[in-house]
């Protein structure tokens, strides 16, 4: 088996059949409210304490896996508790780079590449330097990049410090259904677009294409009678699906050959996407310029010219969606939408219509 790495966090193995296989081995430490100091576990993991101001969430607006952590942090109102470092959209094989900041170094950690935080803890770290990652600010070393647990932990473990009115995005009564659906979405949609884009044989691509569209057709049907994926309000299930849907027409349709049709041509999914996009925390954390630059410039095996397309027209994302007629509401009674985006965290490259909607 030959192995290659896409250091955007899309570590992949090219199997003998040409199928894309994601490397899902991560630093699976966790930050828990139940511990007072770092505790080494028998399985080698470390559990870290919840301490405001101790950690920095390292992310990139281009990355769908990081995007879900940015959305969750914003909805929970943890901006003053866990700071946010943002890498630029393009990089080489060594790792994400903080080239959007003055001097091309992260202003808190003082590092140029995210790789430095990984090597600070694991000098011979052998796998992809991925976002999202949480870094201990004092030691400048990575704590975890295990995005499957990182995002639910932002909902569960930091509740003492979340904003007043923060929604519960992972209700106990819905967890079994959320877990089942998000597992399906990860395999068939979040990862499904990559199986299409990085397939290296026709058969592998054809199979990936069929699986992806079977899943999208299922979600189209599911969302034709309900406003959100699980229950009556936004949950982690919606946060996990959104980053793939919002990137679909701009990137995956053409770049990854997921081109049966666009999301804007699927009535239920298109209305659902517009509904989420217009909710604070979603559209106001989405940077299409950085998203397109990342995929079209970094993936030289897919796009060797590195030409970034100007289209498509995405202004329709702020048009009326009419999803209110299905019932439900973005947040449960007693919960509220987050306030304005903090000054230093505003999306740099908002579309004119996007800016008018959120800041006008």
Active site residue 194: yes
Could you tell me the two tokens for 139? 């030691």
Exposed / middle / buried, residue 57 (Cβ in 10 Å: 0-12, 13-18, 19+)? buried
Listing DSSP states for 270-327 in one string gives HHHHHHHHTSTTTGGG--HHHHHHIIIII-TTT-TT-PPP-----GGGGS---GGGG-
Could you tell me the two tokens for 74? 């914003």
Choosing from 26, 55, 63, 205, which is the catalytic residue? 63
Residues 6+ apart with CB under 8 A from 178: 170, 230, 235, 236, 237
Active site residue 63: yes
Choosing from 26, 161, 170, 194, which is the catalytic residue? 194
Bridge partner list, 47: 30, 39
In this structure, how many other beta carbons lie within 10 angstroms of the beta carbon of residue 318? 18
- Contacts of 29-34 with CB under 8 Å at 24 or more apart are 29/143, 29/144, 29/146, 30/144, 30/146, 30/149, 30/153, 30/157, 31/55, 31/134, 31/143, 31/144, 31/153, 31/157, 32/153, 32/157, 33/156, 33/157, 33/158, 33/159, 33/160
Q: Is 96 annotated as a binding residue?
A: yes
Could you tell me the two tokens for 63? 């990355």
Reference 152, options 182, 114, 129; nearest CA is 182
Residues 6+ apart with CB under 8 A from 307: 296
Q: From the annotation, which residues make up the binding site for glutathione?
A: 96
Catalytically annotated residues: 63, 194
Q: From the annotation, which residues make up the binding site?
A: 96
């Amino acid at each position: 088996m030959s192995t290659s790495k896409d250091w955007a966090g899309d570590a992949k193995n090219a199997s003998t059949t040409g199928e894309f296989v994601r490397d899902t081995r991560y630093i699976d430490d966790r930050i828990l409210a139940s511990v007072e100091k770092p505790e080494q576990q028998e399985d080698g993991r470390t559990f870290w304490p919840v301490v405001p101001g101790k950690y920095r969430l390292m992310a990139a607006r281009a990355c769908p896996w990081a995007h879900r952590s940015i959305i969750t942090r914003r909805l929970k109102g943890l901006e003053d508790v866990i700071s946010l470092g943002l890498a630029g959209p393009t990089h080489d094989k060594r790792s994400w780079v903080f080239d959007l900041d003055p001097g091309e170094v992260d202003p808190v950690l003082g590092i140029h590449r995210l790789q430095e935080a990984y090597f600070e803890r694991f000098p011979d770290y052998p796998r992809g330097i991925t976002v999202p990652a949480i870094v201990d600010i004092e030691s400048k070393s990575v704590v975890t990049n295990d995005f499957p647990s990182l995002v639910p932990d932002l909902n569960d473990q930091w509740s003492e410090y979340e904003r007043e009115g923060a929604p519960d995005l992972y209700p106990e009564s819905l967890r079994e259904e959320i877990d089942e659906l998000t597992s399906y979405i990860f395999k068939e949609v979040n990862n499904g677009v990559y199986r299409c884009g990085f397939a290296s044989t026709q058969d592998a691509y054809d199979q990936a294409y069929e699986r992806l569209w079977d899943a999208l057709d299922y979600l189209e049907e599911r969302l034709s009678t309900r406003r959100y994926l699980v229950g009556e309000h936004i949950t982690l299930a919606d946060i996990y699906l959104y980053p793939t849907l919002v990137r679909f027409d701009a990137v995956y349709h053409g770049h990854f050959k997921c081109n049966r049709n666009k999301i804007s041509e699927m009535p239920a999914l298109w209305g659902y996407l517009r509904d989420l996009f217009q909710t604070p925390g979603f559209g106001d954390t989405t940077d299409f310029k950085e998203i397109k630059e990342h995929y079209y410039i970094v993936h030289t095996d897919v796009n060797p010219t590195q030409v970034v397309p100007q289209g498509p027209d995405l202004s329709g994302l702020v048009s009326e969606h009419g999803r209110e007629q299905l019932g439900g509401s973005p947040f449960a009674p007693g919960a509220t939408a987050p306030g304005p985006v903090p000054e230093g965290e505003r999306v740099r490259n908002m579309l004119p219509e996007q800016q008018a909607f959120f800041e006008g």
